[in-house]
Amino acid sequence: MLSSLAHRALERDGLGGIRDKVLASERITEAEAVTLLEARDLAALGALANHVREARHGDLTFYNRNVHLNPTNVCVATCKFCSFARPDDKHASEGYTMSLEQSVQHVVSKRALGITEVHIVSGLHPDLPWEYYLETVRRIRQAWPELHIKGYTAVELHFFAEKFGKSMEQVLRELIDAGLTTIPGGGAEIFASRVRRKICDDKATAEQWLEVHRTAHRLGLKSNATMLYGHIETLAERVDHMARLRDLQDETGGFQVFIPLAFHPEHNMIGKAFPKPTGYDGLRTFAVARLFLDNFDHVKAYWVSLGERLAQASLSFGVDDVDGTVLEERIYHMAGATTPQALSEAQLHRMIRFAGRVPAERDSLYHVLRVHDAQAPVPATA
Amino acid sequence: MKLRAAAVSFLNARPLTAGLAGSPLIDLVLAEPSLCASMLEAGDVDLALLPVGALPGRDWEVVPGIGIGADGPVQTVVLAGEEPPEQWGEVFLDTASRTSQILAQLVLAERGLSPRYTHMPALEGLSRAVGPKGALVIGDRAFDVDKKVVLDLGREWNRLTRLPMVFAVWAARPGALRPEDVQELARGAQVGLGMRTELAQQFAREAGGDPERYRRYLTQKIRYGLGPHELDGLEAFLSRAALAGLAPPTTLRFADDVVRSRRIRRAVSIDAALQKGADGVRLDPDEAEALDEKAPLLELGLAADMRRRALHPEGVVTYIVSRNMNYTNVCTTACSFCAFYRPRGHEEAYVLDRGQMARKIEETLALGGIEILLQGGLHPDLGIEWYEDLFRWVKSTYPAINLHALSPEEIWHIARTSQLPLDATVDRLVAAGLDSIPGGGAEVLDDEVRRRIAPLKCSTDEWLTVMRAAHLKGLKSTATLMFGVGEDSRNRVNHFVRLRELQDETKGFTAFICWTFQPENTRLDPSDNSAHAYLRVNALARLVLDNVPNFQASWVTMGGGVAQASLHMGCNDFGSVMIEENVVSAAGTTFQMDSEEVERHIRDAGFQPARRNMRYQIIGQA
């Protein structure tokens, strides 16, 4: 229930109409989403988003135990916001490509840590054969049958289809046969073509990105969706991005979670002109995403990008998922992230509990594996 | 029933015991060091001020926070002889203390020496320490040792390890101490340490000798804190003793010191209390405590934001360009939560010289800075003249600089070391150039917490007394809270209420700032020190401290994003552009922002940035 203070604040801000729609479970418009982003009343916006979050999930806050696998950072795309990609495998450019054995070993070596998911994202390598990608999935599946394999962003999948002369359906079917279970939400950036032309004009377009997910959903795969915010996009372009996701979700119902990702400025081409978006920008974006994306179950804050403190604060601004233990993250750390390489489960619990929430370990399909109810003592720091 | 305790009658123990006279909880008997240990073993007492050499092989619980040690020369534990130690074939060990026996052997072994050791009472040993023979002498009789060669074992230990030496701690039979008893020992220490001048005079009357020499011994030689560095020193001593086969291995165990008393609280409606707070109606302690325990973050935030809008309707968020200058990191309080301080003799111990300070101030001016926030440790050797000279130099060399200097703790310390009344101390500092006072060192203004995390710091009353004195002389100050140190709602609300009472009286606080305890490189486990807790406590403070005009966001500890959120939950000021910060960053926090970045955060959060001075007057609209 929305408190009387929240009502007072929203009325004062002229947001009574939007509030009424939210409370009546009516969909808000793109213009209203922009109004909320511009509202400059973080506490009231948070209260409204928190109302929706608690109505959906109560205090449950989801996380998983996962490991990241980035088999190569060699990439033919030249995204201006990226600090991870390298043009080739040569030592001088710090490019690398893992052998199949290395990739499998990287994942399997984490078995003792109770990992339930591997998250695979790569560069768009000019020379690797289709078998490499297929075999990566197949061998991990063979080595660890019960592990959930979330792999290859829509941008990579689109690249595979074009490079190897396959239909998207064919690409996905072969990967599913090899053992793929869901698709990560990366590569979405900002859908607006004005923005894409400027920051990532040589990879999948918005339509292509959406088409990959549409196809995946049709084949029964669940997927996630991201948005890279805080660079050159306008607030209206952010909302447009979310609107396209909302439309596709109406059509397929295949998205599980929306993940706003903060642009990180270090070691990439647009970082000099655009500083890292502030925490305020992140919190209002989470809150508006929660209010606007009424057909998405989950909104995730990626602690690697936000830092633990802001990620924790986001749990009062519409967020119900903090990603996972994230062993061995590379992409954000190469863009200057100063967060730890991984958080222990105890650290995640502490963060969640101290936000007054209840940690719930989930699998990759958001089945709850275990609720760590609040009766247990808060774990001490490591 | 009172706890039975034993302690030595040595001069250096008196500051820990004198304050226990008439204690309702503890009955004290005085005895030789070795006797203290045997009385504890025999069960004649539950608690003893024990030489640390008596810890190995026992499961005594050590009282945290206080002890007797030295971070350099100690004067009262010495090896003496007529020839250099290299010539000694035999050393007579004073039988009165096993600790000093071990220390003497460790120090000589480190020099590659292994004379024959013979146990013998000190006076006899000393008289026989002629020719190639040395003697260990401890206690007050060591003051008067008259030998050609005197090896001060405090200094020798410090040279060997760069760590302080801890000679004695309060130790108790397991389970004998209640947290209240631990607090009573800390209270006693606080009282006794404030009486060091009198104790020195009293000792001179009893034993003869120069009272000033004894006073310097108690204030400048002996250290009474048991902080992270002292514990490092103690552990090094115990492990070296074990390695050398002089004692069994020891793991320190500490007595529980968390008091959990409760106040009977009437039933409070959270909603009604939030409405009151939002409307600027004064909250009573029951309401504040209930909100602290139960109100959701955003509800506190909404109410605090309404207060902020009422007090600062312009939508301006101010900040100042100032520089932290920590003139020394040498400190005698040895607080368990502090990662900044160093004992004397530590390789990283420093006192800034004029050249270093000049460079820092000039850099500050070049960056548009108008203020120096001058704070430092409680250095036992710096008297008021040092501060007066420094202030006069700053003011005459850099007249544009505002001196926001010396937390109440430091002023109290200066008054004590210089044996001056508080009022006179403040007057002299103001005359030398002091402009305003930072609110640091408040930690949690509830002695139940202070005695646990900072037993040697000034008490709540003393902190407030300094602030009152300063305010009454027209100085402005800020007020702070550091939380997440295991305190509870009641402790935090007590803190707010004490500040609010003083503010009603003086109106001298310009701003409040809180932050969470940063635990890295310290010996204290944090309680909830999360960003969520920061935002809640800050918002609650905005509601309770209805008479404090400004609230600073703590981006240094929380990061810019959480600080921006706090601007929507009670804060109207973004603190200072940090040109330098040493204290919190020593404990692991390293957020940095220049003025451009500060202004970007303020604007992005929906406010108009403006530069201010320490009185919160706007000096330039961006």
Q: What is the pLDDT of residues B133-187, one digit of tens each?
A: 999 998 888 888 889 999 999 999 999 999 999 999 999 999 999 999 999 999 9
- The C-alpha of B606 sits at a distance from chain A's nearest C-alpha, in angstroms, of 5
- The C-alpha of B78 sits at a distance from chain A's nearest C-alpha, in angstroms, of 42
Whether the pLDDT of residue B231 is over 60: the answer is: yes
- The C-alpha of B452 sits at a distance from chain A's nearest C-alpha, in angstroms, of 19
Tell me the residue range of the domain where A22 lies: 4-54
Choose the final residue of a domain: A54, A72, A88: A54
Could you tell me if A40 and A109 lie in one domain? no
Nearest to A184 by CA among A141, A136, A223: A223
pLDDT on residue B79: 94
CB of A67 within 8 A of CB of A328?
yes
pLDDT on residue A381: 47
CATH 3.40.50.720 fits B270-277+285-621, yes or no: no
Give domain B3-68+166-254's CATH number out of 3.40.50.1000, 3.40.190.10, 1.20.1630.10, 3.40.50.300.
3.40.190.10
- The C-alpha of A49 sits at a distance from chain B's nearest C-alpha, in angstroms, of 11
**Which range in A374-378, B45-49, B360-364 is most confidently predicted, on average pLDDT?**
B45-49
CATH 3.30.930.10 fits B77-161, yes or no: no
pLDDT on residue A85: 82
B165 forms bridges with which residues in the sheet?
B70
The SS3 assignment for B324 reads strand
Could you tell me if A94 and A33 lie in one domain? no
The SS3 assignment for B8 reads coil
Candidate from B526, B568, B597 with C-beta closest to A43: B568
Smallest CA–CA distance from A13 into chain B, residue: B306
CB of A350 within 8 A of CB of A358?
no
- How many other CB atoms are found less than 10 A from the CB of residue B119? 11
In B435-505, the DSSP E strands lie at: 436-437, 476-483
A379 occurs within a structural domain: no
Reported as a pLDDT band with limits 50, 70 and 90, residue B577 is confident
Name every residue whose Cβ is closer than 8 Å to that of residue A135 and which is 6 or more positions away in sequence. A100, A178
Could you tell me if A12 and A94 lie in one domain? no
Q: Give me the percent of chain A exceeding a pLDDT of 70.
A: 92
Contacts of residue A310 in chain B, CB cutoff 8 Å? 531, 559, 561-562
Could you tell me if A321 and A260 lie in one domain? yes
- How many other CB atoms are found less than 10 A from the CB of residue B44? 15
pLDDT on residue B34: 77
pLDDT digits (tens, 9 = 90+) for B428-463: 999 999 999 999 999 999 999 999 999 999 999 999
The question of ipTM being above 0.95 is answered as: no
CATH 3.40.190.10 intervals, chain B: 3-68+166-254, 77-161
Residue carrying structure tokens 């209420």: B497
Could you tell me if A27 and A141 lie in one domain? no
CB proximity A376 to B under 8 Å: no
pLDDT digits (tens, 9 = 90+) for A240-252: 999 999 999 999 9
Choose the final residue of a domain: A38, A54, A70: A54
Could you tell me if A272 and A189 lie in one domain? yes
- The C-alpha of B601 sits at a distance from chain A's nearest C-alpha, in angstroms, of 7
Name every residue whose Cβ is closer than 8 Å to that of residue A358 and which is 6 or more positions away in sequence. A58, A59, A60, A61, A352, A371, A372, A373, A374
Whether the pLDDT of residue A235 is over 90: the answer is: yes
3-state secondary structure B183-227: HHHHHHHHHHHCCHHHHHHHHHHHHCCCHHHHHHHHHHHEEEEEC
B557 forms bridges with which residues in the sheet?
none
Contacts of residue A313 in chain B, CB cutoff 8 Å? 531-532, 535, 561-562, 565
Asked if the Cβ–Cβ distance from A5 to B302 is below 8 Å, we say yes
pLDDT on residue B184: 94
Contacts of residue B565 in chain A, CB cutoff 8 Å? 42, 279-280, 283, 313
Candidate from A306, A310, A356 with C-beta closest to B296: A356
Name every residue whose Cβ is closer than 8 Å to that of residue A264 and which is 6 or more positions away in sequence. A81, A83, A271, A276, A305, A332, A335, A336, A337
CB proximity A90 to B under 8 Å: no
Give the CATH number of the domain where residue A229 resides: 3.20.20.70
Could you tell me if A95 and A146 lie in one domain? yes
Whether the pLDDT of residue A289 is over 70: the answer is: yes
A354 occurs within a structural domain: yes
Q: If residue A1 lies in a helix (H) or strand (E), which one and from where to where?
A: none
Candidate from A43, A312, A356 with C-beta closest to B301: A43
CATH 3.20.20.70 intervals, chain B: 270-277+285-621
Candidate from B560, B563, B568 with C-beta closest to A42: B568
Whether the pLDDT of residue B392 is over 90: the answer is: yes
Whether the pLDDT of residue B582 is over 80: the answer is: no
Could you tell me if A117 and A177 lie in one domain? yes
The more confidently predicted of residues A78 and A195 is A195
Asked if the Cβ–Cβ distance from A278 to B561 is below 8 Å, we say yes
CA-CA distance, A152 to A157, in Å (whole number)? 6
Residue carrying structure tokens 């204690």: B23
Could you tell me if A103 and A115 lie in one domain? yes
Reported as a pLDDT band with limits 50, 70 and 90, residue A345 is confident
Whether the pLDDT of residue B389 is over 90: the answer is: yes
CA angle, residues B15, B170, B12, in degrees to nearest 5: 30
A81 occurs within a structural domain: yes
Q: If residue B93 lies in a helix (H) or strand (E), which one and from where to where?
A: strand B90-94
Contacts of residue A315 in chain B, CB cutoff 8 Å? 532
Contacts of residue A282 in chain B, CB cutoff 8 Å? 561
Whether the pLDDT of residue B215 is over 50: the answer is: yes
Domains contained in chain A, number: 2
CA-CA distance, B33 to A179, in Å (whole number)? 73
A130 occurs within a structural domain: yes
pLDDT digits (tens, 9 = 90+) for B475-505: 999 999 999 999 999 999 999 999 999 999 9
Asked if the Cβ–Cβ distance from A309 to B531 is below 8 Å, we say yes
Q: Give me the percent of chain B exceeding a pLDDT of 90.
A: 82
Could you tell me if A48 and A147 lie in one domain? no
Provide mean pLDDT across the span A306-332: 87
Q: Best residue in A36, A52, A235, A278 to probe B by mutation, most B CBs within 10 Å?
A: A278
Reported as a pLDDT band with limits 50, 70 and 90, residue A324 is confident
pLDDT on residue A84: 82
CB proximity A4 to B under 8 Å: yes
Whether the pLDDT of residue B60 is over 70: the answer is: yes
pLDDT on residue A382: 40
CB of B551 within 8 A of CB of B538?
yes
